[in-house]
């Protein structure tokens, strides 16, 4: 029997944003590009109503999440911004948030640093049974050479390495509801439906930014 294939479903997904704080701006490889990817994914979160959890590592010393990231626009979709001392995002507070949402099966990870906080968060989440998707054009480290090894380690442990656009299209699952003798049926992923228009607009608006981030983040160090 073939193993089950994990698929991203909006209603079962949460976005985790790890430690993209002001003090890191001038030391993280391709920092501006990962901010572009994060804002793109936040737009997707708004269109598809996906909750977002943010952590900040020692914000008194490292600052808060950089204001270039448009967290206020999320409104109630921003579940929490949690201060942490651990490298992993899986603090008691974050574990409690997930425990309160037993329908969540998948976590989409963005942020820094790939080989420290992102890696340890991914391993902890995988260990707890979640499907973990790391956005390769949305994570980075101080030293770019660390990134592919961190992503390879996550993949070896059962995580999924993908890109922002690929993940976005997996999450875009609009449904056409029809009746047949009182029964309902649905067709997922129908690009002709009105709900697809908002999603499509985001993809088009972000086209140049997507190309920029892929060229900067993935070409120098392809995923192992």
User: Is residue 41 domain-resident?
Assistant: yes
CATH number, domain with residue 120: 3.40.50.850
Mean of pLDDT over the chain: 87
Tell me: the pLDDT tens digits for 54-84? 999 999 999 999 999 999 999 999 999 999 9
pLDDT at 221 over 70: no
In this prediction, residue 194 carries a pLDDT of 53
Tell me: the pLDDT tens digits for 175-200? 433 334 443 333 445 555 556 777 77
In this prediction, residue 7 carries a pLDDT of 87
User: Is residue 183 domain-resident?
Assistant: yes
Tokens, residue 201? 């607009």
Q: What is the pTM of this model?
A: 0.87
Largest CA distance in the chain: 63
- Residue 84 falls in the annotated catalytic set: yes
Tell me: the pLDDT tens digits for 106-158? 999 999 999 999 999 999 999 999 999 999 999 999 999 999 999 999 999 99
| Residue carrying structure tokens 């998948």 | 106
What phi, psi does 179 have (nearest 5°)? -120, 140
Tokens, residue 175? 């449904």
pLDDT at 49 over 50: yes
User: Is residue 4 domain-resident?
Assistant: no
pLDDT at 48 over 80: yes
What's the total number of domains in the chain?
Answer: 1
User: Is residue 55 domain-resident?
Assistant: yes
- Name, in order, each residue with C-beta under 8 angstroms of 164's C-beta and a sequence gap of 6 or more: 37, 40, 41, 135, 137, 138, 210, 213
HEC profile for the chain?
CCCCCCCCCHHHEEEEEECCEHHHCCCCCCHHHHHHHHHHHHHHHHHHCCCEEEEEECHHHHCCECCCCCCHHHHHHEEEEEEECCCCCCCHHHHHHHHCCCCCCEEEEEEECHHHHHHHHHHHHHHCCCEEEEEEEEEECCCCCHHHHHHHHHHHCCCEEECHHHHHHHHCCCECCEEECCEEECCECCCCCCHHHHHHHHHHHCHHHHHHHHHHHCCCCCCC
In this prediction, residue 178 carries a pLDDT of 37
- Residue 117 falls in the annotated catalytic set: yes
User: Is residue 5 domain-resident?
Assistant: no
- CA-wise closest residue to 88 among 126, 51, 52, 50: 126
Catalytic residue selected from 40, 43, 84, 216: 84
Catalytic residue selected from 18, 19, 124, 137: 19
Catalytic residue selected from 43, 117, 137, 216: 117
Tell me: the pLDDT tens digits for 2-24? 456 788 999 999 999 999 999 99
User: Is residue 222 domain-resident?
Assistant: no
Distance separating alpha carbons of residues 158 and 131, to the nearest angstrom? 8
User: Is residue 91 domain-resident?
Assistant: yes
In this prediction, residue 200 carries a pLDDT of 79
pLDDT at 25 over 80: yes
- Residue 19 falls in the annotated catalytic set: yes
Tell me: the pLDDT tens digits for 26-41? 999 999 999 999 999 9
User: Is residue 187 domain-resident?
Assistant: yes
Q: Domain range holding 25? A: 10-217
Q: Is the dihedral of CA 157, 141, 104, 106 positive or negative?
A: negative
Residue 8's Cα: distance from chain center in Å? 11
């Amino acid at each position: 029997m073939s193993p089950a294939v994990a698929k991203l479903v909006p209603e079962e997904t949460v976005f985790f944003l790890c430690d993209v704080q002001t003090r890191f701006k001038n030391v993280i490889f391709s920092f501006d590009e990962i901010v572009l990817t994060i804002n793109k994914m936040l737009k997707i979160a708004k269109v598809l109503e996906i909750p977002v959890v943010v952590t900040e590592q020692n914000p008194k010393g490292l600052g808060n999440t950089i204001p270039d990231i448009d967290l206020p626009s999320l409104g109630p979709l921003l579940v929490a911004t949690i201060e942490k001392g651990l490298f992993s995002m899986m603090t008691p507070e974050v574990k409690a948030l997930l425990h309160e949402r037993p329908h969540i099966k998948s976590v989409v990870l963005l942020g820094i640093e790939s080989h420290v906080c992102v890696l340890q968060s991914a391993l902890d989440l995988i260990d707890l049974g979640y499907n973990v998707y790391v956005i390769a054009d949305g994570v980075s480290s101080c030293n770019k050479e660390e990134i592919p090894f961190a992503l390879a380690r996550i993949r070896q442990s059962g995580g999924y390495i993908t890109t922002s656009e690929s993940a976005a299209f997996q999450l875009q699952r609009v449904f056409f509801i029809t009746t047949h003798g009182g029964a309902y049926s649905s067709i997922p992923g129908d690009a002709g439906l009105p709900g697809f228009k908002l999603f499509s607009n985001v993809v088009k608006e972000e086209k140049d930014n997507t190309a920029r981030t892929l060229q900067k983040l993935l070409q120098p160090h392809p995923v192992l």
